[in-house]
A and B are shown apart, each in its own frame.
Chain A
């Protein structure tokens, strides 16, 4: 499970980088949301570093820069990137949820809930099994347009609810959302 901790830390490093980009491409309410996400991921990164150190490991440092999965040139792109980052982090925390240590499982569970709700804040779509491989989210229904994400409601797809029912094996997470673009 030390590997799961390292993967989660790696994903948090990438998320912090991504949120820097997201903040630079947004304004107003979205910028505020980006700032909150940036701060939250820094706190989670520090927690993971602490857990790795407590186990006698050496937490990896972030890469100098990361290659984004697509060009982020608008607030809509930024929101899409934020959703992707949060979804991949949810998967990383689901892997960590299998750790033998109950306290680490708690950290993973709460972090997964935070990531899933942040993703919903960026794009109001809901999956039955957030973080499970193969999950896509269905658009959520709302009668209050002022509370929905400003410009990110057009990217959702149909929900598949059966992808997570084969739970006999533990989760092998998808790769991190972002890869360092240079050697660390």
Chain B
């Protein structure tokens, strides 16, 4: 809906007024309800959720902590691969679609405290396990991408198990 404030009318609000005028004058071909929204492509909805989840995974890694004699940089390659996945998902979005998740989406809160390697492993395992279900409704190209991303995440589970954090 278009709002006006302070007595200032926007062009769209004016256009809406003009359309209402047509309705009042008897033009039955124009709907009197709220402006119809273009249905959202299910692939775009899926991609937005994939992008949001990847962003959360990267946020987890940014708070990942290691202990013992493991170099602090050991998690960087993992994060870089997730960033590559994120870029691939974003690239599949149509040009006219934004990457913002649906307003109805309820992303999990990203912890603000340190994240253990065990928690990273659990997140990777959950992500990999969810790929087959996501692939069920994906386009063929996205399904292939998801299969590859899931394979990478499954390998991450193994590789993180070799780190001590």
Instruction: Give the complex CA separation of A169 and B141 in angstroms.
Output: 6
Instruction: Give the complex CA separation of A143 and B162 in angstroms.
Output: 7
From B68, B141, B146, B155, contact of A130 by CB (8 A): B155
Instruction: Give the complex CA separation of A93 and B156 in angstroms.
Output: 19
The distance from the CB of A130 to the nearest CB of chain B, in whole angstroms, is 4
Contacts of A98 in B (CB 8 A): 140-141, 143-144
Chain B interface main SS type: helix
Contacts of A131 in B (CB 8 A): 147-148, 151
User: Which of the segments A19-27, A43-51, A120-128 contacts the partner chain?
Assistant: A120-128
CB of A143 within 8 A of CB of B69, answer yes
Chain B residues in the interface with A (C-beta under 8 A)? 68-71, 74, 77, 80-81, 84-85, 87-88, 91-92, 128, 131-132, 135-137, 140-152, 154-159, 162-164
Q: A117-B157, A167-B92 are in contact. List 14 more A-B contacts (CB 8 A).
A: A90-B151, A109-B131, A112-B147, A112-B150, A117-B158, A120-B159, A127-B152, A128-B152, A142-B159, A143-B69, A148-B162, A159-B81, A164-B145, A167-B91
CB of B84 within 8 A of CB of A94, answer no
CB of A117 within 8 A of CB of B154, answer yes
Nearest CB in chain A to that of B165: its residue: A143
Chain A contributes a number of interface residues (CB within 8 A of B) equal to 48
Instruction: Give the complex CA separation of A129 and B145 in angstroms.
Output: 8
Contacts of B80 in A (CB 8 A): 128, 161
Contacts of B85 in A (CB 8 A): 128-129
